[in-house]
Structure 1
Amino acid sequence: MSPRFEEIDWRPTPMGDISLRRRRDPLTGQEVYEVKLGDEFLMSSLFTAGEIELARLGLGALPDGGADSGTGNGTGTGAGLDVAVGGLGLGYTARAVLEDPRVRSLVVVDALPDVIRWHEEKLVPLGEALVSDRRCRLVRGDFFALAAGTEGLDPQRPGRRLHAILLDVDHSPRHVLHPSHAPFYGEAGLRALSGHLHPGGVFALWSNDPPDEDFTAVLARVFATAEAHVVRFDNPYQPGAAANTVYVAGKAAGA
Structure 2
Amino acid sequence: MSARYEELDRRPTAMGEISLRRRWEPVLRVDVHEVRLGEEFLMSSLFTVAEEELARLGLAATTGRELDVVVGGLGLGCTAVTALEDPRVRSLRVVDALEAVIGWHRDGLLPLAGTLTGDPRCELVHGDFFALAATGALGPAHVVLLDVDHSPRAVLHPSHAPFYTADGLTRLASGLHPGGVFALWSDDPPDHDLLEVLGAVFATARADVVPFANPYTGGESANTVYVATTAG
TM-based fold match above 0.5: yes
Per the alignment, residue 183 of structure 2 pairs with: 204
Per the alignment, residue 190 of structure 1 pairs with: 169
The alignment partner of 1:119 has SS state of: helix
The letter for the 2-side match of 1:26 is P
Q: How far does the alpha carbon of each residue in 1:216-242 deviate from its partner, in whole angstroms, 9 at most, with x for none?
A: 110000000000000000001114210
The letter for the 2-side match of 1:147 is A
Per the alignment, residue 230 of structure 2 pairs with: 251
**What is the Cα deviation at residue 27 of structure 1?**
2.0
* Structure 2 CA distance for aligned equivalents of residues 41 and 61 of structure 1: 31
* Structure 2 CA distance for aligned equivalents of residues 96 and 174 of structure 1: 26
Of residues 219, 236, 246 in structure 1, which corresponds to 2:215? Answer: 236
* Structure 2 CA distance for aligned equivalents of residues 31 and 240 of structure 1: 21
Of residues 119, 122, 128 in structure 1, which corresponds to 2:105? Answer: 119
Per the alignment, residue 134 of structure 2 pairs with: 148
Per the alignment, residue 156 of structure 2 pairs with: 177
Per the alignment, residue 12 of structure 1 pairs with: 12
Of residues 93, 98, 102 in structure 2, which corresponds to 1:107? Answer: 93
The letter for the 2-side match of 1:231 is V
Is 1:44 the counterpart of 2:44? The answer is: yes
* Structure 1 CA distance for aligned equivalents of residues 218 and 112 of structure 2: 29
Q: How far does the alpha carbon of each residue in 1:144-184 deviate from its partner, in whole angstroms, 9 at most, with x for none?
A: 0000003x22xxxxxx3100000000000100000000000
- Report 1:18-167 matches (<5 A): 18-63=18-63, 66-67=64-65, 80-150=66-136, 152-153=137-138, 160-167=139-146
The alignment partner of 1:53 has SS state of: helix
Q: How far does the alpha carbon of each residue in 1:21-68 deviate from its partner, in whole angstroms, 9 at most, with x for none?
A: 0000122111000111111111110000010000000000001xx34x
* Structure 2 CA distance for aligned equivalents of residues 173 and 83 of structure 1: 21
**What is the Cα deviation at residue 196 of structure 1?**
1.2
Aligned residue pair count: 232
**What is the Cα deviation at residue 131 of structure 1?**
0.4
The alignment partner of 1:12 has SS state of: strand
Q: Where does the alignment leave 5 or more consecutive residues of structure 2 unmatched? A: none
Per the alignment, residue 157 of structure 1 pairs with: none
**What is the Cα deviation at residue 134 of structure 1?**
0.1
The alignment partner of 1:231 has SS state of: strand
* Structure 2 CA distance for aligned equivalents of residues 38 and 165 of structure 1: 28
* Structure 2 CA distance for aligned equivalents of residues 239 and 7 of structure 1: 27
Which runs of structure 1 show a deviation greater than 2 angstroms over 4 or more consecutive aligned residues? none
Per the alignment, residue 213 of structure 1 pairs with: 192
The alignment partner of 2:13 has SS state of: coil
* Structure 1 CA distance for aligned equivalents of residues 17 and 26 of structure 2: 26
The letter for the 2-side match of 1:20 is L
Matched residues, percent identical? 66
| Higher strand proportion | 2
* Structure 2 CA distance for aligned equivalents of residues 47 and 116 of structure 1: 20
* Structure 1 CA distance for aligned equivalents of residues 102 and 172 of structure 2: 23
Alignment RMSD (CA, Å)? 0.7
